Amino acid sequence: MDADELLQLAEQIAREAGELARRRRDEGVRIAATKSALADIVTEADREVEALIRARLTEARPADGFLGEESGAERGESDVTWVVDPIDGTVNYAYGIPHYAVSIAAVTGEPDPEQWTAQAGVVFAPAIAELFRAARESGAWLGADRLAVSQATDAGALIATGFGYDPATHAGDLERVRIVMPLARDLRRAGAASLDLAYVAAGRLDGYFERGLHPWDHAAGALLVTEAGGRVGGAPGGRPGRQMTIAAGPDLYAALDTAIHR
């Protein structure tokens, strides 16, 4: 198993899938269903794009496992599992905001974010034509530029966050924003977790935190951040997950971790 080969495949499929998503967006978006809450939507394009990604992966690597936002989990016979969000930022997508992405990661070991080792990850924003990529121990890249997380400055940090779809959690989310604001020069809520993580890797954001993420939201983006020299975690000492995800350069990570878990 070669992480660079997995990355090449992920990139090729993400480009094709992203083009399909972009084309479908131009043709008009139809909501197919709601999921955990009325605000948590799935479009016909989410399903079609995931089906395309799954079919391409099955053709190329039939023994691998799959964990996708729309079609669920299937264990493979090899050690590799593909973790896929076909359209991260679905609400942006539905509203015509170009900030959405295809996120594809290849992980080895148990297909569980608490245990897996990420080997390769791609986050592709087709409407902006930016593809962020990383392979384990080969760095994180945007085109020919090697990515590096930002250094802390006295001006305060540009921090992103997100709010899940469940209204019952919003009061807690807002309280966390209040707690974190003294560290911030400003706050962003752009609407696609994979791109929030990619932007931390690229130094476009200094830090990011969110409660409630699913494995497909963070699998590729977390590898981008660590390969760009940053830190990603969750609950104290833990990995990113439903309880919490924090990503930043090492100094800001420590400050966010302390503030959020005080």
Smallest separation, CB 173 to ligand IPD (Å)? 9
Q: Which residues make Cβ contacts (< 8 Å) with residue 66, sequence separation at least 6?
A: 54, 57, 73, 74, 76, 81, 82, 84
DSSP state of 109: S
193 binds ligand IPD (CB under 6 A): yes
Q: Phi first, then psi: what are they for 125, rounded to 5°?
A: -100, 95
Binders of ligand IPD in range 152-181 (CB under 6 A): 162, 164
Question: What would the two tokens of residue 42 be?
Answer: 């799935």
The residue range among 88-96, 122-130, 174-182, 231-239 that interacts with ligand IPD, by the rule CB under 6 A, is: 88-96
Share in percent of the chain as helix, strand, coil (round to 5): 35, 25, 35
The residue range among 110-118, 129-137, 170-178, 186-194 that interacts with ligand IPD, by the rule CB under 6 A, is: 186-194
Binder to ligand IPD among 10, 192, 223, 224 (CB under 6 A)? 192
CB of 240 closer than 8 Å to CB of 113 = yes
Nearest 10 degrees: Cα torsion 4, 8, 10, 15: 150
Distance separating alpha carbons of residues 248 and 262, to the nearest angstrom: 18
CB of 243 closer than 8 Å to CB of 257 = no
222 binds ligand IPD (CB under 6 A): no
37 vs 63 by CB, closer to ligand IPD? 37
Q: Phi first, then psi: what are they for 201, rounded to 5°?
A: -60, -40
Smallest separation, CB 1 to ligand IPD (Å)? 28
Binder to ligand IPD among 111, 212, 215, 221 (CB under 6 A)? 212
3 vs 123 by CB, closer to ligand IPD? 123
Smallest separation, CB 46 to ligand IPD (Å)? 8
User: Residue 260: is it exposed, middle or buried by C-beta count within 10 angstroms (0-12/13-18/19+)?
Assistant: middle
213 binds ligand IPD (CB under 6 A): yes
Smallest separation, CB 11 to ligand IPD (Å)? 20
The residue range among 109-117, 144-152, 187-195, 200-208 that interacts with ligand IPD, by the rule CB under 6 A, is: 187-195
Site residues, ligand IPD (CB under 6 A)? 69, 85, 88-90, 162, 164, 191-193, 210, 212-213, 217
